[in-house]
Amino acid sequence: MGLTFEDLPQDIVAVTKLRVLDVIGLALAGAETDFGRSVREAALAISAPGPCRILGFPDRVGVTAAAFANGALSQALEFDDTHNESIVHMSSPAVAAALALSEFTAVSGRDLITAIAIGNEISCRVGSVSSGELHKRGFHPTGLFATFGAAYLAGKLLGLDTAALARAAGIAGSFAGGLLECWVDGTQTKFLHPGWSAQSGITAALLARSGVTGPAQVFEGRWGLFASHVQDPNAHRDFFRINDRLGEHWESRNSSFKPFPAAHVIHPYISVVLRLRATGSPPSQRINGPNGARNRLSLPIQTRFRSKAKPAISVYGRSQLLVCGTAMKTDLRASAGNRPRVFQPASRRKAIEAARSNGLSSGVLKRVRCMDGSASGPRDDACSPRGIVPDVRRSVVRHPSPRSCSPDCSCCWRRRSSRGSSR
């Protein structure tokens, strides 16, 4: 962990700064939701007053409570960035942990950026050891893998030596967790996982600093993370991915910001919907179903429509786009679910396929079949893995100016919010 700010490539520095801004903006937006207000209330009950802010509120709490609250707030809208292979939301827990620690101990701006870059890289690398295997078994990669990234991040900012960092990683293994049963009934526990990872990483580092020990083989051991969570001897595991050219090759480069508030594996579908709407005819009456080979990491999810629309399970979200042309934070409220025109095309789908792949382009979804026999496909570069905001936005939808669009335009809303606007 001798990596310094001067060792970081310029593009990693630039994108890490964007990730900090992204997470802060998402946490402020999440603070406006009912979920956000509930998280704040719980954080105040958990923690005595302390030095660390809960974003979007005037309260100050302890370091772990602030990290937990801010990490959870940043996931509330399903808008946080993602590592394309492991499907880890790495920045929300990393930024939440780093910001909390910056009010707990002396941290310079350069140290902050360095620690976040390290935390993101560790989360992506650990998540790539057995990519897809944990997700399809019902574990949320962010809850498991980002805990380790947050632990190394916290260790960097707290000045832990190599032995203490190893102990922190071992301790973090007992805190890592997160189930996806919430996908079945549309409940909110998935949104808590970035906060839990941020909190757990800080806790692991503080325990290690105080001398608590943890298993040295937390990843590859007999009862380590992957042996316990992927109980299949034939499942692929590549532990070399964790430290291969660490500090030289940056796996976190293969991550994407989101132009839409939904799981990024669904963005190619959203791209198709926008292209259908651009034809000028009412696509909500024409859509029939998807066509294309499913990726080996596809995850079928059967669900029923409920009173609350959940962006990540977004057959509703795509129907919202078909009918209204937008699917932003104000469109995905429970009250919007009563629109018959939105539910009509959504009800034609038998299942929701959250396709998981490395590239997440037209290889996942080739085209959508329409009632008249025509078909439309996503842009080849939809959901680009390049991870730079303008590239991702440009790959999905183009507009000449934010002023020429509706207030809820999915492209320009993010562009305006990144400049500090609340809408």
Mean pLDDT of the region 118-135: 95
Mean pLDDT of the region 326-348: 50
pLDDT score recorded for residue 148: 98
User: 107-111, 183-187, 416-420: lowest mean pLDDT where?
Assistant: 416-420
- Confidence check: pLDDT of 36 > 80: yes
Mean pLDDT of the region 365-371: 51
Q: Higher pLDDT residue, 306 or 38?
A: 38
pLDDT score recorded for residue 263: 77
- Confidence check: pLDDT of 397 > 50: no
Please give the C-alpha separations between residue 76 and each of 216, 255, 402, 412, in angstroms, as whole numbers: 34, 19, 25, 20
Whole-model pTM: value is 0.78
Judged by DSSP in three states, 249 sits in strand
Q: What's the mean per-residue pLDDT of the chain?
A: 77
397: DSSP letter: -
CA 312 remoteness from chain centre: 11
Q: Higher pLDDT residue, 172 or 289?
A: 172
Closest CA to 263 of 352, 333, 200, 177: 352
pLDDT score recorded for residue 407: 43
Domains of the chain with bracketed CATH? 5-252 (1.10.4100.10), 264-418 (no CATH)
pLDDT score recorded for residue 329: 56
148 neighbors 124 (Cβ within 8 angstroms): no
Residue given tokens 């190893």 in the structure block: 166
Closest CA to 252 of 358, 150, 376, 122: 122
pLDDT score recorded for residue 266: 74
pLDDT score recorded for residue 406: 43
Read off the pLDDT band of 15 (50, 70, 90): very high
